[in-house]
Amino acid sequence: MENPIEKFQSWWNKAISNSPLQQKSAICISTINEQGFPSGRFVDLKSVDENGFVFCTYLDSAKGKHIQHNPKVAMTIWWDHVGYQVRVIGEAQAVSDAEAIEFWKTRKRSAQLTTTAFQQSQPLKELEELQTRMQEVSDQFINREVPKPSTWGGYRIQPVSIEFLTFAENRLHLRELFNKKENAWIKSLLQP
């Protein structure tokens, strides 16, 4: 039986090798807000394996609060240059702090400083605050490692459904749907 996680890995590899994409790991994550509205934004996909799809963010951001309230999320990708769309739905679960620290270590120092300087999704009083806060954290962590803030971590989406669409100019798209039933993946096709 075809494995959708392996299929995803193969599509992602194809999308990022010799790729014109600047942001090769961008995926759209949709959460449900407190009023029941869906809310989508792009994040970077950090890893994917049998346990799910991982992205990193502030746990107390708007999306983090949505997930605490309702862990059901969607992940959507469109890779234009290869003509692939992927749609995933599943439940997001915070990764362990130890795992988050490993992801933190892979980030550039500039990104670590930015993350430390701000509280994502909170209002910014004025534009100048961007520079003053960055200067403050640069001074604070001069000549030493930037530790992971406790409010930053990762979410793993455990998929229940994954749809792969191969785009066709004449709209005769190939749509392959995988649904998880009792730990097995069931494949079906959908009309375009």
Ligand X SMILES: Cc1cc2nc3c(=O)[nH]c(=O)nc-3n(C[C@H](O)[C@H](O)[C@H](O)COP(=O)(O)O)c2cc1C
Q: Which residues bind ligand X (CB under 6 A)?
A: 23, 26, 39, 41-44, 55-57, 61-63, 120-121
Please state the closest distance from residue 83 (CB atom) to ligand X, in A.
Answer: 20
- Please identify, using beta-carbon distances, which residue of 39 and 188 lies nearer to ligand X: 39
For residue 42, the 8-state DSSP code is E
- Please identify, using beta-carbon distances, which residue of 7 and 107 lies nearer to ligand X: 107
Burial-class residue 114 by CB neighbours within 10 Å (0-12, 13-18, 19+). Answer: middle
Beta bridge partners of 73: 90
Please state the closest distance from residue 78 (CB atom) to ligand X, in A.
Answer: 13
- Please identify, using beta-carbon distances, which residue of 11 and 103 lies nearer to ligand X: 103
- Please identify, using beta-carbon distances, which residue of 26 and 177 lies nearer to ligand X: 26
Give pairs for 179-188: CB < 8 Å, separation 24+.
Answer: 184/1, 185/1, 185/2, 185/3, 185/4, 187/1, 187/2, 187/4
Please state the closest distance from residue 84 (CB atom) to ligand X, in A.
Answer: 17
Locus of tokens 């971590």: 153
C-alpha pair distances (Å), 171 with each of 109, 188, 191: 44, 19, 11
Please state the closest distance from residue 171 (CB atom) to ligand X, in A.
Answer: 28
Please state the closest distance from residue 152 (CB atom) to ligand X, in A.
Answer: 9
- Please identify, using beta-carbon distances, which residue of 77 and 165 lies nearer to ligand X: 77
